[in-house]
Amino acid sequence: MKKLRFGTKEHPHSNLLKNLLVLNLFDLCITIFAVEANLAEEMNPIMGYFLNQSPLAFALFKIFVMQHAIMLEINKFYKKDKIAKKWMWYFLIFIYGATVLWNITTVSAQAFGVFQ
């Protein structure tokens, strides 16, 4: 995969940003699948509102929010780069990874009748 480049600079956390985007897309797909199949419900009231409007509105809002957060990070990159940012991205990847694993586990359990 190509590194994220901005002019001649390479973002020091480009792989972390890509991982976060992939996890966000997994979370998006699993959530839409699980809610549409009546295996789960969206617990976040803001995201629930958009999901009730339509899966497309939900997807667009979720992608917009994540893209906006990443663009803010890229903007900060030009100002200064700190070790704390790297750990913040590790934390976000951990949270999204845990969310994806939780979604897969609970949706699978629901689909196989574990939760009756």
Dist CA 9 CA 83 (whole Å): 17
Q: Is residue 1 predicted with pLDDT exceeding 60? A: no
Counting Cα atoms < 13 Å in the Cβ hemisphere of 45 gives: 0
User: What is the per-residue pLDDT for 87?
Assistant: 77
Q: Is the pTM of this model over 0.75?
A: no
User: What is the per-residue pLDDT for 103?
Assistant: 86
- Which whole number is the average pLDDT over 33-52? 89
Residue type, 24: N
Cβ of 41: how many Cβ atoms within 10 Å?
10
Q: Name, in order, each residue with C-beta under 8 angstroms of 71's C-beta and a sequence gap of 6 or more.
A: none
Q: Is residue 10 predicted with pLDDT exceeding 80? A: no
Nearest to 47 by CA among 33, 34, 59, 39: 59
SS3 call for 6 = strand
Dist CA 72 CA 113 (whole Å): 42
Cα dihedral 88, 14, 95, 53 sign: positive
- Which whole number is the average pLDDT over 31-55? 90
Whether the CB-CB separation of 22 and 99 falls below 8 Å is answered with: no
User: What is the per-residue pLDDT for 52?
Assistant: 93
Dist CA 110 CA 104 (whole Å): 10
